[in-house]
């Protein structure tokens, strides 16, 4: 990429509880200034269900002791847990010439590009944001935009215990099946997926990696 390409700081947060990262995202977004560099955070969460701002708790069928946390993204309920790669995008959309829809499309396309390299044909749906393989959901997207800046982002099922998804209507869709990359193609390492996803994510967002 050319030197004129905007740069983004990429951080690997490791394994960290969702409420802690949620608070950090809110603080980062509240305190950022016009010249604050954008960041992308990779993280893996302990088991948790999250419910969007206008989410309906009727879509939580049986939590089975897994915490249910209401957060300020769009969308309904989803599950985060070990073996899932979560990618939070803290971007100044106005500075990058993006809007919420084009950001969603960029995130979807980055995952589709990545899994194509594993021989998996994934698609996106205009009526239900996310990434799908043969009608089963592989990745979910939920965003919040405040003062033209995004946070929250993308969750891709890499090598998970998928059983907790049976306790919800994923993303508010009754009977929606969920899958992961281990099932589809044998990819089971978050580190490998993260390394493969990063260049596609940068390309789709038209960003280069900064320090």
Look at residue 3 in the predicted model and tell me its pLDDT.
53
Residue-averaged pLDDT of the chain: 95
User: What is residue 4's predicted lDDT score, i.e. its pLDDT?
Assistant: 74
Radius of gyration of the chain (CA): 16
Given pLDDT bands bounded at 50, 70 and 90, which one contains residue 54?
confident
Least confident residue range of 21-25, 59-63, 186-190? 59-63
Q: In 3D, which of 155, 139, 198, 206 has the Cα closest to residue 10? A: 198
Phi/psi region, residue 24 (left: phi>0; alpha: psi -120 to 50; beta: rest), is: alpha
Residue 15 banded pLDDT, cuts 50, 70, 90:
very high
Catalytic pick from 86, 91, 171, 184? 171
Say what the pTM is: 0.95
In this structure, CATH architecture of domain 7-205: 2-Layer Sandwich (3.30)
Q: Each residue of 17-36: pLDDT tens digit?
A: 999 999 999 999 999 999 99
Q: Over the stretch 73-116, which tens digit does the pLDDT of each residue have? A: 998 999 999 999 999 999 999 999 999 999 999 999 999 999 99
Residue-wise DSSP of 49-65: EEE-TT--GGGB---TT
Mean pLDDT of all residues in 48-52: 96
CA neighbor of 25 nearest in space, from 76, 86, 97, 82: 86
Query: What integer pLDDT is reported at residue 1 of this predicted model?
Result: 41
Domain-by-domain residue ranges, the chain? 7-205
Is the pLDDT assigned to residue 211 strictly greater than 80? no
pLDDT, one tens digit per residue, over 151-171 is 999 999 999 999 999 999 999
CB neighbour list of residue 78: distance below 8 Å, 6 or more residues apart: 49, 50, 140, 142, 155, 168, 170, 171
- Res 2 pLDDT > 60: no
| Residue 171 annotated as catalytic | yes
Q: For residue 46, is pLDDT > 90?
A: yes
Separation between Cα atoms, residue 79 and residue 67, nearest integer Å: 10
């Amino acid at each position: 990429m050319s030197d004129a390409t905007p740069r983004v700081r990429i951080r690997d947060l490791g394994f960290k509880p969702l409420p802690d990262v949620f608070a950090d995202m809110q603080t980062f977004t509240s305190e950022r200034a016009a010249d604050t560099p954008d960041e992308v955070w990779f993280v893996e969460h302990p088991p948790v269900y999250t419910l969007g701002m206008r989410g309906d708790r009727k879509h939580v069928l049986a939590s089975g002791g897994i915490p249910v946390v209401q957060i300020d993204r769009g969308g309904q309920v989803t599950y985060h847990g070990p073996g899932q790669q979560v990618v939070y995008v803290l971007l100044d959309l106005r500075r990058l010439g993006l809007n919420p829809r084009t950001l969603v499309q960029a995130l979807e396309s980055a995952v589709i590009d990545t899994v194509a390299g594993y021989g998996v044909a994934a698609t996106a749906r205009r009526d239900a944001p996310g990434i799908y393989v043969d009608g089963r959901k592989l990745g979910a997207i939920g965003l919040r935009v405040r003062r033209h800046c995004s946070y929250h982002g993308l969750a891709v099922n890499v090598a998970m215990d998928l059983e907790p998804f049976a306790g919800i209507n994923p993303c508010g869709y009754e009977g929606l099946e969920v899958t992961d990359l281990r099932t589809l193609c044998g990819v089971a390492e978050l580190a490998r997926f993260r390394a493969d996803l990063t260049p596609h994510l940068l390309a789709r967002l038209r960003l280069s990696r900064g320090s």
